[in-house]
Structure 1
Amino acid sequence: MPGELRRAFTDKGLSMSPDRLIYMANQIGSFFKSQGHDKAIPGIADHIHKFWDPRMRKAIFAHLDAGGAGLDPDVREALATLKKTAHA
Protein backbone atom coordinates (compact mmCIF):
# COMPACT_ATOMS: atom_id res chain seq x y z
CA MET A 1 0.00 0.00 0.00
CA PRO A 2 1.41 3.40 -0.92
CA GLY A 3 2.51 5.63 1.96
CA GLU A 4 -0.06 8.31 1.11
CA LEU A 5 -2.88 5.83 1.38
CA ARG A 6 -1.62 4.46 4.70
CA ARG A 7 -1.44 8.01 6.08
CA ALA A 8 -5.00 8.75 4.98
CA PHE A 9 -6.14 5.81 7.07
CA THR A 10 -4.08 6.67 10.13
CA ASP A 11 -4.27 10.48 10.24
CA LYS A 12 -6.23 11.91 13.15
CA GLY A 13 -6.54 8.61 14.97
CA LEU A 14 -8.60 6.60 12.49
CA SER A 15 -7.59 3.10 13.45
CA MET A 16 -9.58 1.16 10.87
CA SER A 17 -7.43 -0.68 8.36
CA PRO A 18 -7.82 -0.11 4.62
CA ASP A 19 -8.79 -3.75 4.19
CA ARG A 20 -11.59 -3.32 6.72
CA LEU A 21 -13.00 -0.26 4.93
CA ILE A 22 -12.83 -2.06 1.59
CA TYR A 23 -14.63 -5.03 3.13
CA MET A 24 -17.31 -2.80 4.63
CA ALA A 25 -17.85 -0.90 1.37
CA ASN A 26 -18.16 -4.16 -0.56
CA GLN A 27 -20.66 -5.49 2.01
CA ILE A 28 -22.79 -2.39 1.45
CA GLY A 29 -22.49 -3.00 -2.28
CA SER A 30 -23.62 -6.61 -1.84
CA PHE A 31 -26.71 -5.46 0.04
CA PHE A 32 -27.76 -3.02 -2.69
CA LYS A 33 -26.85 -5.31 -5.63
CA SER A 34 -30.27 -7.02 -5.59
CA GLN A 35 -31.92 -3.66 -6.35
CA GLY A 36 -30.28 -3.47 -9.77
CA HIS A 37 -27.50 -1.21 -10.98
CA ASP A 38 -29.60 1.97 -11.34
CA LYS A 39 -30.72 1.85 -7.70
CA ALA A 40 -27.59 0.24 -6.25
CA ILE A 41 -25.17 3.04 -7.15
CA PRO A 42 -27.11 5.87 -5.44
CA GLY A 43 -28.00 3.51 -2.57
CA ILE A 44 -24.37 2.68 -1.87
CA ALA A 45 -23.32 6.33 -2.16
CA ASP A 46 -26.14 7.50 0.10
CA HIS A 47 -25.37 4.90 2.76
CA ILE A 48 -21.68 5.77 2.86
CA HIS A 49 -22.48 9.50 2.92
CA LYS A 50 -24.96 9.14 5.79
CA PHE A 51 -23.29 6.56 7.99
CA TRP A 52 -19.53 6.77 7.48
CA ASP A 53 -17.37 9.18 9.45
CA PRO A 54 -15.80 11.84 7.20
CA ARG A 55 -12.36 10.37 7.98
CA MET A 56 -13.54 6.99 6.71
CA ARG A 57 -14.81 8.58 3.51
CA LYS A 58 -11.54 10.47 3.06
CA ALA A 59 -9.62 7.23 3.45
CA ILE A 60 -11.75 5.24 1.00
CA PHE A 61 -11.57 8.13 -1.50
CA ALA A 62 -7.76 8.02 -1.20
CA HIS A 63 -7.91 4.30 -1.88
CA LEU A 64 -10.14 4.92 -4.90
CA ASP A 65 -7.67 7.53 -6.19
CA ALA A 66 -4.86 4.98 -5.79
CA GLY A 67 -6.68 2.56 -8.09
CA GLY A 68 -9.38 1.13 -5.84
CA ALA A 69 -7.92 -2.37 -5.63
CA GLY A 70 -10.36 -4.82 -4.06
CA LEU A 71 -13.45 -2.66 -4.50
CA ASP A 72 -16.35 -4.14 -6.43
CA PRO A 73 -17.18 -2.25 -9.66
CA ASP A 74 -20.52 -0.91 -8.36
CA VAL A 75 -18.82 0.29 -5.18
CA ARG A 76 -16.12 2.05 -7.21
CA GLU A 77 -18.78 3.79 -9.29
CA ALA A 78 -20.76 4.80 -6.21
CA LEU A 79 -17.67 6.16 -4.48
CA ALA A 80 -16.66 8.12 -7.58
CA THR A 81 -20.16 9.60 -7.75
CA LEU A 82 -20.13 10.43 -4.05
CA LYS A 83 -16.68 11.99 -4.27
CA LYS A 84 -17.78 14.19 -7.19
CA THR A 85 -20.91 15.41 -5.39
CA ALA A 86 -19.02 15.96 -2.14
CA HIS A 87 -16.73 18.43 -3.92
CA ALA A 88 -19.49 20.19 -5.88
Structure 2
Amino acid sequence: MSNKTEKLVKMANDISNFFNAESNKTLAAEGVKKHIMRAWEPRMRKEIIEYSQKDGTGLSTLATEAIKLLAID
Protein backbone atom coordinates (compact mmCIF):
# COMPACT_ATOMS: atom_id res chain seq x y z
CA MET A 1 0.00 0.00 0.00
CA SER A 2 1.41 3.39 -0.95
CA ASN A 3 1.70 6.25 1.51
CA LYS A 4 -1.08 8.05 -0.34
CA THR A 5 -3.39 5.05 -0.01
CA GLU A 6 -2.47 4.68 3.67
CA LYS A 7 -3.51 8.30 4.22
CA LEU A 8 -6.83 7.72 2.44
CA VAL A 9 -7.51 4.62 4.54
CA LYS A 10 -6.74 6.57 7.71
CA MET A 11 -9.00 9.41 6.61
CA ALA A 12 -11.86 7.04 5.72
CA ASN A 13 -11.50 5.29 9.09
CA ASP A 14 -11.43 8.63 10.94
CA ILE A 15 -14.65 9.70 9.23
CA SER A 16 -16.17 6.31 10.03
CA ASN A 17 -15.19 6.62 13.68
CA PHE A 18 -17.17 9.86 13.87
CA PHE A 19 -20.28 8.31 12.28
CA ASN A 20 -19.92 5.06 14.25
CA ALA A 21 -21.86 6.67 17.12
CA GLU A 22 -24.98 6.31 14.96
CA SER A 23 -26.73 3.12 16.07
CA ASN A 24 -28.29 2.60 12.63
CA LYS A 25 -25.27 1.43 10.62
CA THR A 26 -27.07 1.97 7.32
CA LEU A 27 -27.46 5.66 8.18
CA ALA A 28 -23.89 5.76 9.43
CA ALA A 29 -22.54 4.33 6.15
CA GLU A 30 -24.64 6.84 4.20
CA GLY A 31 -23.21 9.64 6.33
CA VAL A 32 -19.65 8.52 5.65
CA LYS A 33 -20.39 8.26 1.94
CA LYS A 34 -21.90 11.75 1.82
CA HIS A 35 -18.96 13.23 3.69
CA ILE A 36 -16.49 11.63 1.28
CA MET A 37 -18.54 12.84 -1.70
CA ARG A 38 -18.47 16.43 -0.39
CA ALA A 39 -14.93 16.62 0.93
CA TRP A 40 -12.78 14.40 -1.30
CA GLU A 41 -11.78 15.18 -4.85
CA PRO A 42 -12.67 12.62 -7.56
CA ARG A 43 -9.13 11.16 -7.75
CA MET A 44 -9.19 10.41 -4.03
CA ARG A 45 -12.60 8.77 -4.27
CA LYS A 46 -11.50 6.68 -7.25
CA GLU A 47 -8.36 5.52 -5.46
CA ILE A 48 -10.17 4.46 -2.26
CA ILE A 49 -12.86 2.64 -4.26
CA GLU A 50 -10.23 0.75 -6.25
CA TYR A 51 -8.28 -0.08 -3.10
CA SER A 52 -11.39 -1.31 -1.32
CA GLN A 53 -12.34 -3.55 -4.25
CA LYS A 54 -8.83 -5.02 -4.69
CA ASP A 55 -7.67 -5.41 -1.10
CA GLY A 56 -9.29 -3.18 1.50
CA THR A 57 -6.90 -4.18 4.27
CA GLY A 58 -7.02 -1.69 7.12
CA LEU A 59 -10.44 -0.24 6.29
CA SER A 60 -12.98 -0.44 9.08
CA THR A 61 -16.22 -2.31 8.46
CA LEU A 62 -18.17 0.95 8.33
CA ALA A 63 -15.67 2.55 5.93
CA THR A 64 -15.87 -0.51 3.67
CA GLU A 65 -19.67 -0.35 3.61
CA ALA A 66 -19.62 3.37 2.85
CA ILE A 67 -17.13 2.90 0.03
CA LYS A 68 -19.34 0.20 -1.48
CA LEU A 69 -22.16 2.76 -1.53
CA LEU A 70 -19.79 5.32 -3.01
CA ALA A 71 -18.85 2.94 -5.81
CA ILE A 72 -22.52 2.54 -6.75
CA ASP A 73 -23.11 6.28 -7.20
Aligned to 2:40: 52
Alignment of 1:8-87 (within 5 A): 17-36=4-23, 37-85=25-73
SS of the residue 1:76 aligns to: helix
Q: Is the Cα–Cα contact under 8 Å of residues 49 and 70 in structure 2 kept in the other structure?
A: no
Q: Is the 2:9–2:59 contact (alpha carbons within 8 Å) kept by the matching residues of 1? A: yes
Normalised TM-score (structure 2): 0.90
SS for the counterpart of 1:17 is helix
* Structure exhibiting the larger radius of gyration computed from Cα positions: 1
Higher relative contact order (CA 8 A, sep 6+): 2
Structure 2: give runs of 5+ residues left out of the alignment. none
Structure 1 residue ranges (4+ consecutive) displaced by more than 6 angstroms after TM superposition: none
**Identity over the aligned pairs, expressed in percent?**
35
RMSD: 1.3
Counterparts of 1:31 and 1:39, CA distance in 2? 12
TM (norm. structure 1) is 0.76
3-state SS of the aligned residue for 2:50? helix
Unaligned runs of 5+ in 1: 7-15
C-alpha separation between the residues in 2 aligned to 1:78 and 1:38?
9
